[in-house]
Structure 1
Amino acid sequence: MIKLFIGNLSHETSEPELRDILDAFEPIVEITRPLDRETGRPRGFAFVTFGSREMGEKAMETLNGTKLGGRELRVDEAEDRRPRSHPAERPRRVSLAVEIGKRVDDRPIGPDGKRVRYKAI
C-alpha cells in the first residue's frame, strides 16, 4: 500500500472528478478530502491510498504536473505526521530583549531617579 498527497486541487473539484482521473490506477483503498473548518469547503488537497505500491507510483509519475480544473496537480508520496509534543515538553521561546541568564529592566525612571516599582493589585 502507498498513500499519495495530491495538492493544488481546485476547491470546486469534486470527489467523483478525482475518482475519474484515478480510475486507471485501481485498486484505490481510500480517498480523503479534508474540509476547511471555517467554510466547510474542501481544502486544496487530498490523500489517496492505493492497494498496490506499484500502481501508486505509476499514478504519481503520470498525474504529477497534469491539469485538473485549470490547475497543475502536485503529486507526492504522503509523509507521516510528526508526533506532537506536550506544551510542557516544548522548548521555551526567549524574547529578543532577554539575554540568556540576564533580565532586562525596562521599567521607567521616576522623578527621584530610581526605577518605578510596580505594585501588585
Structure 2
Amino acid sequence: MSIYVGNLSYEVTQEDLEGVFKEYGTVNRVQMPTDRETGRPRGFAFVEMGTEAEEKTAIEALDGAQWMGRDLKVNKAKPREERGSSGSWGNNRRSNRRY
C-alpha cells in the first residue's frame, strides 16, 4: 500500500518529498504523476514506506501540516479504479430504453 499526498506545491521535487517522509521511516519509492501535455507535476504524489507502522506515523504527522505554503492532504492511497472507455452511461443499455 502507499500514501497519497495531495495539495502539493508545483515546485516540490521527489527529493523534497523523500526528505520529509524519511523523518518517519524508510522511503521505498516516491511517484509524482505529471501532466501528459505540459510535463508539469499534477500537485499530488504517492509515497511507499517500509512498513505500515511507518506509513501510519507519517500520515498522522503530516495530514493537514503546512509545507511550502500549502496545507497537505495525506492519507492511505485508494486502489486505482478501472476506467471504461464508454463512461458511466455506456455500460447500462437499459437506461437508454424508453418504455
Unaligned runs of 5+ in 2: none
1:26 matched to 2:40: no
1:100 deviation in Å? 1.7
Tell me the C-alpha RMSD between the 2 structures.
1.9
Counterpart secondary structure, 2:23: helix
Deviation track 1:30-80 (CA, whole Å, cap 9, x = no partner) reads 110000112101111000111200000000000001111100000010000
- Whichever of the two has the greater Rg, that structure is 1
Query: Counterpart amino acid of 2:91?
Result: R
1:72 maps to 2:54: no
Give the structure 2 partner of residue 90 of structure 1: 91
SS of alignment partner, residue 29 of structure 2? strand
Report matched runs for 1:1-121 at 5 Å.
2-85=1-84, 87=86, 90-92=91-93, 94=96, 100-101=98-99
Q: CA separation in 1, counterparts of 2:33 and 2:7?
A: 13
The residue type paired with residue 81 of structure 2 is R
Q: Aligned pair count?
A: 95
Which consecutive unaligned segments of at least 5 residues does structure 1 have? 102-121
8 A contact 2:3–2:47 mirrored in 1: yes
Q: Which amino acid is 2:92 matched to?
A: P
How far apart, CA to CA, are the structure 1 residues paired with 2:3 and 2:29?
A: 11
